[in-house]
């Protein structure tokens, strides 16, 4: 008989320790170690005897690809299908995280109602009763007459109901509320999360059922539970939004069946989440009179170009050390750009507080933002507004050169489509053929860009 031993597991990161201690040695969090029982032998092992292990079934990969069903299930929301890489894949498991009240349950209820009209779908809720789910569906104006709902937290019962109904889609709301009876810890614990996620993955692969899981997030904005939870699933999506904003962004941070960092844009309305067909429009609500320190750039988010406004503010330092604050941009890269601006642009900001912001709550990490950030700071320092019909993008090196970025011509065509008439870009990104309605200025040095921006 297997001996039972006690181990201590961190509920924050899942690390194990032989004895209790106040601080987790792996993640550094305090008072997060919880006791759990574990057999000293592997499950299914027989003491004193050798277990016969059957050989794994090997398949020819070419035959598997040819015989597999490559068709995807459309969610009814084209923006969400874009994030998934074209729709849901049969047998896939996707995890959706986000702040409380941001719209996770609303989005997946809309998806379940859309698919439920044509396919068997089971919506399992461990947080709400069936009556509460029905009230929410009515409030959103969803036709969910054929949608099956299970107000259940026992995961075995949920998977059994999904098998009996032949569900093609299973929605679990949420992973922190379900439990397995064989695991000796409470729902939401590290062991429960790990085993429940593993059970759902096995169920999805065995039955070709697409599984969508809602996950709670910590105060840092990451999905609660051990990191293995994200490793087990096929796709990880995050809801992003500014506080008080009606706009919602769904970003794929992991996707085995599509591109990573693809974005979906929604607006929260009384009837639920509504798709935004032209995302650039929500980030370009600029005033008629453009103030100094504002410039539009073309970012590349996921598989599409996106026009966003970059704002910069330079203010004389009042006391102490100068402040360097960046919202939606990398603060350390901002400090590097300030050094380049001082050394190669002739603009010293060492006695100024510097603030940079991406309007709309987006988080941009690509180097194409270098040139527009530096131009907005120069505009604020000189108190001279940049032209309202000017866009700019480009990477700036430590020696002051303006370097090309990927998808330059695609960015320029998107800018022309949105009505911009002038563009300041790296020389290597100038298009071979003229773009109708757009005058493109190619620059190779930061000094050339600063001069052209204020004379164009």
Give the domain CATH number at 343.
3.30.230.10
C-alpha distances (whole Å) from 12 to each of 179, 303, 340 are 18, 33, 40
pLDDT at position 243 over 70: no
- 233 pLDDT more than 60: yes
Task: Return the structure tokens found at 251.
Answer: 């970003």
- The reported pLDDT for the residue numbered 68 is 46
**Do 30 and 11 reside in the same domain of the chain?**
yes
| pLDDT (0 to 100) of residue 37 | 67
Highest mean pLDDT among 2-6, 161-165, 242-246: 161-165
Four-point Cα dihedral 219, 220, 224, 227, nearest 10 = -170
Is 411 contained in some domain? yes
Asked if residue 217 and residue 187 are part of one domain, the reply reads: yes
Q: Which whole number is the average pLDDT over 60-82? A: 76
- Mean pLDDT is lowest, of 245-259, 276-290, 304-318, for 276-290
CA distance 378 to 450: 8
**Pairwise CA distance, residues 55 & 282, whole Å:** 56
| Mean pLDDT (whole number) for 396-407 | 96
Q: Which two tokens stand for residue 159?
A: 């998977």
* Structural domains in the chain (count): 3
Strand pairing partners for 395?
A: 403
Could you tell me if 286 and 405 lie in one domain?
Answer: yes
Q: Please state the rounded mean pLDDT for residues 124-134.
A: 94
Average the pLDDT over each of 39-43, 116-120, 260-264, 364-368 and give the range with the smallest value.
Answer: 39-43
Q: Is residue 61 part of a domain?
A: no
> pLDDT category, 64, cuts 50, 70, 90?
low
Residue 39 pLDDT: 52
Q: Do residues 78 and 266 touch, judged by C-beta distance below 8 A?
A: no
Nearest to 245 by CA among 102, 71, 355, 353: 102
Q: Is 110 helix (H, G, I), strand (E, B) or coil?
A: helix
What's the mean pLDDT in 265-286?
85
Residue 208 lies in a domain: yes
Domain assignment of residue 65, yes or no? no
pLDDT score recorded for residue 322 = 92
Instruction: Please check the confidence at residue 116 and state whether its pLDDT lies above 50.
Output: yes
Say whether pLDDT at 212 is over 90. Answer: yes
**Which residues are within 8 A (CB) of 121 and not within 5 positions of it... i.e. 6 or more apart?**
112, 115, 147, 148, 167, 168, 169, 170, 171
pLDDT of residue 77: 93
Helix (H, G, I), strand (E, B) or coil at 74: coil
- Token pair 């719209």 is at which residue? 103
**373 pLDDT higher than 80:** yes
Looking at the structure, do residues 249 and 378 belong to the same domain, yes or no?
Answer: no
Report DSSP letters for 28-68, one per residue: --BS-EEEEEEESS-TT--TTSPPPPPPPPP--HHHHHHHS
Say which residue, 266 or 224, is predicted with more confidence: 266
pTM: 0.78
Establish if 59 belongs to a structural domain.
no
Give burial (CB, 10 Å; 0-12/13-18/19+) of 337.
buried
Of 87, 137, 129, 84, give the one whose Cα is nearest residue 110: 137
At 40 the pLDDT is 46
Average pLDDT, the chain: 88
Is residue 52 assigned to a domain? no
Q: What confidence score (pLDDT) does residue 167 get?
A: 96
Regarding whether 134 and 261 lie in a shared domain, the answer is yes
Residue pair 94/211 in contact by the 8 Å Cβ criterion: yes
Same domain, 302 and 191: no
Q: What is the mean pLDDT of residues 55-65?
A: 74
pLDDT band at 293 (very low <50, low <70, confident <90, very high): very high
Residues 118 and 173 in one domain: yes
- Per-residue confidence (pLDDT) for residue 237, from 0 to 100: 95
- What is residue 3's predicted lDDT score, i.e. its pLDDT? 58
Same domain, yes or no, for 229 and 89?
A: yes
Percentage above 90 pLDDT, the chain: 63
Closest to 338 measured CA to CA, from 328, 323, 327: 323
Whether 396 and 447 map to the same domain: the answer is: yes
Same domain for 85 and 35? no
- pLDDT of 258 > 60? The answer is yes
pLDDT-based confidence at residue 278 (cuts at 50, 70, 90) = confident
pLDDT of residue 451 exceeding 90, the answer is yes
Lowest-pLDDT range of 93-102, 133-142, 295-304, 305-314: 295-304
Residue 42: the pLDDT is 46
Last residue of a domain, which of 277, 296, 320?
Answer: 277
Domain containing 188: what range? 72-277
Alpha carbon of residue 165 to chain centroid:
32
C-alpha 429: how far from its chain's center?
29
| Mean of pLDDT values over 220-244 | 84
Positive/negative CA dihedral, 82, 84, 90, 94 = negative
Q: Are residues 155 and 171 in the same domain?
A: yes
Residues 66-75: tens digit of each pLDDT: 444 557 899 9
Model confidence at 208, pLDDT cuts 50, 70, 90, reads: very high
Is residue 253 situated within a structural domain?
A: yes
Average pLDDT over residues 173-184: 91
In whole angstroms, give the CA distance from residue 222 to residue 225: 9
Question: Percentage of the chain with pLDDT > 70?
Answer: 93
- Within a domain: 46: no
Closest to 388 measured CA to CA, from 456, 320, 338 = 456
Query: Is the confidence at residue 314, as pLDDT, over 80?
Result: yes
pLDDT of residue 67: 44
- pLDDT attached to residue 50: 58
Given this model, what pLDDT does residue 45 score?
A: 44
Same-domain check for residues 310 and 211: no
C-alpha torsion angle, residues 42, 43, 46, 51 (rounded to 10) = -90
Q: Which two tokens stand for residue 28?
A: 């550094």
Q: What is the mean pLDDT of residues 242-271?
A: 87
Q: How many CB atoms are located within 10 Å of the residue 48 CB?
A: 4
CB contact set of 312 (below 8 Å; sequence gap of 6+): 293, 294, 354, 355, 356, 357, 373, 376, 377, 379, 380
What pLDDT is stored for residue 353 in this prediction? 96
Residue 227 has pLDDT above 60, yes or no: yes
Q: How far apart are CA 301 and CA 22, in angstroms?
A: 42
Of the two residues 357 and 455, the one the predictor is more confident about is: 357
Which of 229, 247, 277 is a domain's end point? 277
Residue 1 has pLDDT above 70, yes or no: no
CATH code (residue 210): 3.40.50.300
DSSP 8-state symbol, 328: S
- In the predicted model, is pLDDT for residue 371 greater than 90? yes
Of 277, 310, 336, the one marking the end of a domain is 277
């Amino acid at each position: 008989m297997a001996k039972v031993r006690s181990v201590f597991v961190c509920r924050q990161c899942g690390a194990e320790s032989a004895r209790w201690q106040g601080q987790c040695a792996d993640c550094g969090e305090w008072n997060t170690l919880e006791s759990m029982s574990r057999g000293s032998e592997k499950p299914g092992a027989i003491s004193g005897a050798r277990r016969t292990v059957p050989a794994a079934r090997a398949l020819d990969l070419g035959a598997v690809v040819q015989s597999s069903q490559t068709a995807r299930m459309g969610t009814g929301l084209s923006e969400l299908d874009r994030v998934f890489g074209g729709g849901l894949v049969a047998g896939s498991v996707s995890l959706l995280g986000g702040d409380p009240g941001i719209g996770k349950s609303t989005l997946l209820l809309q998806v379940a109602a859309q698919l439920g009209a044509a396919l068997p779908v089971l919506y399992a809720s461990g947080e709400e009763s069936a009556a509460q789910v029905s009230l929410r569906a009515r409030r959103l104006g969803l036709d969910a007459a054929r949608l099956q709902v299970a107000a259940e937290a026992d995961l075995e019962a949920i998977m059994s109901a999904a098998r009996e109904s032949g569900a093609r889609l299973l929605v679990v709301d949420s992973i922190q509320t379900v439990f397995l009876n064989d695991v000796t810890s409470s729902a939401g614990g590290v062991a429960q999360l790990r085993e429940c996620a593993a059970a759902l993955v096995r169920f999805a692969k065995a039955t070709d059922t697409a599984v969508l899981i809602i996950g709670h997030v910590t105060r840092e904005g990451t999905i609660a539970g051990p990191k293995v939870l994200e490793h087990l699933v096929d796709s990880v999506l995050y809801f992003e939004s500014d506080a008080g904003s009606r706009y919602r962004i769904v970003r794929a941070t992991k996707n085995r069946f599509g591109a990573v960092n693809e974005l979906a844009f929604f607006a929260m309305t009384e009837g639920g989440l509504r798709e935004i067909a032209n995302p650039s429009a929500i980030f370009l609500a600029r005033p008629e009179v453009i103030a100094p320190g504002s410039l539009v750039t073309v970012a590349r988010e996921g598989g599409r170009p996106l026009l966003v406004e970059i704002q910069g503010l330079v203010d004389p330092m009042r006391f102490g050390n100068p402040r360097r604050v960046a919202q939606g941009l990398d603060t350390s890269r901002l400090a590097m750009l300030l050094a380049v601006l001082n050394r190669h642009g002739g603009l010293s900001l060492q006695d100024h507080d510097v603030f940079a912001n991406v309007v709309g709550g987006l988080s941009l990490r690509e180097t194409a933002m270098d040139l527009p950030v530096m131009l907005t700071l120069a505009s604020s320092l000189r108190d001279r507004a940049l032209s309202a019909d000017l866009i700019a993008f480009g990477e700036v090196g430590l020696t002051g050169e303006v370097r090309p970025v990927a998808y330059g011509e695609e960015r320029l065509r998107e800018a022309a489509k949105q009505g911009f008439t002038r563009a300041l870009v790296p020389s290597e990104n100038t298009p071979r053929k003229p773009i109708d309605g757009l005058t493109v200025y190619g620059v190779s040095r930061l000094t050339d860009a600063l001069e052209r921006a204020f004379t164009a």
